[in-house]
Structure 1
């Protein structure tokens, strides 16, 4: 009916953990822009470096960008990377690449 070829279907493995597993880090996703801005301002007084990443699949292309701010230094440093067309790449890949770019910026500090 759909003329699908199993050889052309990509299988993406899911990530799973033992039910008692707890991460060694804390994730905090704020409910709105104002809360996120307040939280961001709060951390300005507690850390020296902030790294942000973003990724997208836009106009059938997948890419990522990373930016690093160092408190007390004007300006910022950034890296971006275009993975390629979205029929060959996923936003998940772009997310991983964004983390790698962030690691590179941190290593250069």
Structure 2
């Protein structure tokens, strides 16, 4: 019940009394809210709200996906893609030494044209899945540099099956706001 109350939006009429009750345990005239927040120790300001998906249920993406069955097939597919497609962006997000970062590299005619790297933050505040989504956003940003000369077929390549599947899944979950 405390977590549910703590996750109410700021527009809700109970939001202000909940924040006040959680802030301090008063000496006299305790309300049930004071008792709940004192016993559980939940801080409403530290909870992250996951918002519902902003697409209609009939939403269909304007792109296709392909997930290889094995690493060998994925490597062969990547080599084939690079040789047969004019513009390809490879995206990756990862965690290293308790930090999270992302990178995206744009290849045009099999030559590296541009690369973007971004430090997201420490692992205590971010997850690798979030970094994978941000790497796709970086990849899309690289395609905007080609907007005036963009070929008919472009490929955005990611090694995260969860992220690829999430692009077609319209259920709310952590970091989904990045895909909206």
Once the 2 structures are TM-superposed, how far is the Cα of residue 76 of structure 1 from its aligned partner? 5.3
Structure 2 gap segments, 5+ residues each: 1-38, 147-180
RMSD in angstroms over aligned alpha carbons?
2.8
Choose which of 59, 71, 76 in structure 2 pairs with 1:33.
Answer: 71
Moved over 6 A (4+): none
Residue 80 of structure 1 is matched in structure 2 by 117
Rg larger in structure: 2
| Structure 1: runs of 5+ lacking an equivalent | none
Q: How far, CA to CA, are the matches of 1:71 and 1:2 in structure 2? A: 59
Structure with bigger strand share is 1
Q: State how 1:53-92 maps to structure 2 within 5 Å.
A: 53-73=91-111, 75=112, 77-91=114-128
d(CA) in 2 for partners of 1:42 and 1:77? 21
Which protein has the bigger helix share? 2
Superimposed CA distance per residue, residues 3-60 of structure 1 (whole angstroms, 9 cap, x where no aligned partner) = 3322211123353654443221111111211111222233234311210111123333
Q: How many residues align?
A: 108
Q: CA separation of 1:63/1:44 partners in 2, compared to 1, >3 Å: closer, same or farther?
A: closer
